[in-house]
Amino acid sequence: MGSLGLACGLLLWSFGLYTTGDRLLDQRWAPLVPLAATAGAEAVRRTLPRTALGVATAAIVADQFTHGNLVTVLMFTDVVYAAVVYGNPASARRIPYSTGLVTVAVTAGFLLWWQNAIALVVGVLTGMVSFMPALTGAAVRNHREAAEAARLRAEQTALLAEMDRTQAVVAERARMARELHDVVANHLSAIAIHSTAALSLDEPDTTRRALTVIRENSVAGLSEMRRLIGLLREGGEDAEPAAA
């Protein structure tokens, strides 16, 4: 962006297109110095926004003492915008207020000096070059920060929901494990009691009834174990994607 701006500024300069007439520095090459400085600031406006703003501010002030170059002014507005968008939070808060105060001070100063409506035009131009880019940058930064905050809230909500689901699965599996223990323990107790009776009594009918009860409890216990183990496996498969 800086090299493109420099090229455009050189093109305007080569055709003799200036923003003002006679100035203190009347040499033809004088506008090139602020142009080059602003182009350099434009090149680092994202990585070093505060440094870029300082260099560009000095360049735009120096440009007022030359014939001036429109590209220098345009690049300065972009540097101000970038300083608000990419700078630290403190700078992002201060720059709009500072540029607003500068606009008011310049307008008031020229009104006291010239005492005519042209001073208001100068004030409006100053605001367009400094305050408006800062205000636009503040609006863009606020929008980005709001979007980032909304994204973080959505991620936190999704994470909490996933944690709740995982805890519910773990609690359900613990309940089924307790149920499995109780059911199997009940059937094994019945098997133990009836097997003891079958071994201690030498009566075919009693032994047959005891073995029948033992078989029924064994089959029932096995069925319950298979059912609960199947439920536990289903719960484990549901929890695996969350763990991954």
Of 71, 87, 103, the domain-final residue: 87
Give the model's pLDDT for residue 108: 93
Is 114 domain-assigned? no
Give the Cβ contact number of residue 235 at 10 Å.
16
Identify the residue whose tokens are 């409890």.
Answer: 217
Give the model's pLDDT for residue 107: 92
Is 119 domain-assigned? no
Is 48 domain-assigned? yes
CA distance 174 to 187: 20
Q: What is the domain extent for residue 15?
A: 1-87
Give the model's pLDDT for residue 241: 46
Give the model's pLDDT for residue 196: 73
What are the structure tokens assigned to 2, written together? 């800086």
Identify the residue whose tokens are 């429109």.
Answer: 70
Same domain for 82 and 164, yes or no, is no
**DSSP letters for 42-74:** HHTTTTSHHHHHHHHHHHHHHHTTSS--HHHHH
Same domain for 83 and 5, yes or no, is yes
| Mean per-residue pLDDT pooled into runs of 10, the chain (244 residues) | 70 68 70 90 92 93 87 92 93 92 93 88 91 95 93 92 87 77 72 70 70 76 74 59 42
CA distance 10 to 72: 10
Is 125 domain-assigned? no
Give the model's pLDDT for residue 186: 74
Of 87, 102, 129, the domain-final residue: 87
Is 106 domain-assigned? no
Is 111 domain-assigned? no
**Any residues with CB less than 8 A from the CB of 18 and at least 6 apart, and which?**
12, 31, 67, 68, 69
Of 87, 115, 144, the domain-final residue: 87
Is 163 domain-assigned? yes
User: Which candidate, 67, 86, 83, places its Cα nearest to that of 29?
Assistant: 67
Give the model's pLDDT for residue 243: 41
Collapsing DSSP to helix, strand or coil, 24 comes out as coil
Is 118 domain-assigned? no
User: How many domains, the chain?
Assistant: 2
- The single-letter code of the amino acid at 229 is I
